[in-house]
Amino acid sequence: MHDLQKFYINGQWVEPSGSEVLEVLNPSNEAPIATIRLGDNDDVEAAVSAATAAFPSFSKTSKAERIALLERIIEGYSARMEELAQAISEEMGAPISFARKMQVPAGLGHIKVALKLLKEEEFTQVMGTTTVTKEPIGVCALITPWNWPLNQITCKVAPALAVGCTMILKPSEVAPRSAHIFTEILHDAGVPAGVFNLVDGNGAGVGSSLSAHPRIDMISFTGSTEAGKLVSQAAAVNLKKVSLELGGKSANIVLDDVDFEKVISRSIKGVMSNSGQSCNAQSRLLVPASKLEESVAIAKRTAESIVAGDPLADDTVIGPVVSKPQWDKIQGIIQGALDEGAQLVAGGLGLPDNVEKGYFVKPTVFSHVNTHMRIAQEEIFGPVCTIIPYETEEEAITIANDSCFGLSGGVYSADLERAKAVASQMRTGMVHLNGAPADPKAPFGGFKESGAGREWGIYGMEEFLEPKSMFGSIPRD
């Protein structure tokens, strides 16, 4: 049992003001693994005061100083990668192999990208007789989820540190241990007191307090669309900048010229990865109507071959979903699909046959789904895929765009130009062509109710910068 009942404020671990204790459970066996305290307004005020006091000096540090700081963070992070992987596997149920190969390296990748950009980018431009500088926006509130905990923490913290911002991190109360280890890494790397602060808490408490705080200059939030709207409403009182990375219901369009055995199998495995708990999961699989029967058969074989079980076992492909409320929600959506007449291809209700406890969901596939069904419109955040047939490319694009979300998507075609032509018509912030992986140097974010602003790379870094025009700073010829 890990005692995580302290917050990191002004360069030291301190006793919280908030008294409520929350027990953190291992979703694979429902056993308690840690305790945290839920912060209150006094904790938020202490963290904001520390960050506010630290901003004038940290914002004026040299590029060389911040480069050296990021290099020390990378060194410390690299030395504790196995510990971080174990923490993530324990707190949110990721198979240990997946935590080692994907979850933890993703976080390190964002720090390395921020370091590279800091070395290469110029933050001053001349436009005629005007000098335009890009300056750190100020004190930032960073609110992160549990599904990719280090990925989401580092893609906010690293660029914020790189440009000279100070910050308060509220990690998910469901998966806090990796955030506490990361905080130790920052402390050991010599992040100045007050520059980085950590306060545990829930959205209704600490999250709301940070969102409405008048001395917070910017909020970077990753989570559900519903929560993102609440953050935006609270932030609007002070007109602070808000960057939102929210939900998705991404479509994967498979065109008729591909190797269906390879593509359908790969697509199903992609949806099930991380137990389906990825905002950019391509959970709507669109296939030509003439290939529906073949696609369903391949999807069934693939889903039934995926082993859900103990995250520490070598043959485990997916672990549990993160919590009992999440499990209950997914079961309700599966039942709703059955009630609406969707055809169950694989998986379904209840626990997988090989497990007796934990929040495991059967890898589930539905076919004969139309775009009006709840399962085709609502983000599930679980290992559930829907197969939707289409007659023409135009219809496939229409179906793909028939969503309030617009985060990600995919197109498979043997003809890359054909794939690009389809992708260009999808109203979404990202499209993966032929299964290409995400690129941490490119922007991550979406259209419509999938968010506002971007993370990753230079686009993510610029979220933490404000441009200033100094007119007449350049003498006229």
Q: What's the CA gap between 183 and 153, in Å, rounded?
A: 10
Q: What stretch(es) of the chain map to CATH 3.40.605.10? A: 2-246+451-470
Catalytic residue among 91, 173, 245, 455: 245
CB atoms within 10 A of CB 32: 11
Within 13 Å of residue 249, how many CA atoms lie on the same side as its CB?
A: 21
Q: Is the dihedral of CA 219, 143, 235, 281 positive or negative?
A: positive
Q: What's the CA gap between 371 and 380, in Å, rounded?
A: 15
CATH superfamily, with its number, for domain 251-439:
Aldehyde Dehydrogenase; Chain A, domain 2 (3.40.309.10)
Q: What stretch(es) of the chain map to CATH 3.40.309.10? A: 251-439
Q: What's the CA gap between 304 and 359, in Å, rounded?
A: 18
Q: What's the CA gap between 61 and 63, in Å, rounded?
A: 7
- The closest of 298, 252, 247, 249 to 436, measured between CA atoms, is 252
CATH of domain 2-246+451-470: 3.40.605.10
What tokens were used for 123? 């933050």
Mapping DSSP to helix (H, G, I), strand (E, B) and coil, where does residue 2 land?
strand
- pLDDT tens across the length of the chain (477 residues): 899 999 999 999 999 999 999 999 999 999 999 999 999 999 999 999 999 999 999 999 999 999 999 999 999 999 999 999 999 999 999 999 999 999 999 999 999 999 999 999 999 999 999 999 999 999 999 999 999 999 999 999 999 999 999 999 999 999 999 999 999 999 999 999 999 999 999 999 999 999 999 999 999 999 999 999 999 999 999 999 999 999 999 999 999 999 999 999 999 999 999 999 999 999 999 999 999 999 999 999 999 999 899 999 888 999 999 999 999 999 999 999 999 999 999 999 999 998 999 999 999 999 999 999 999 999 999 999 999 999 999 999 999 999 999 999 999 999 999 999 999 999 999 999 999 999 999 999 999 999 999 999 999 999 999 999 999 999 987
Indicate if 75 belongs to the active site: no
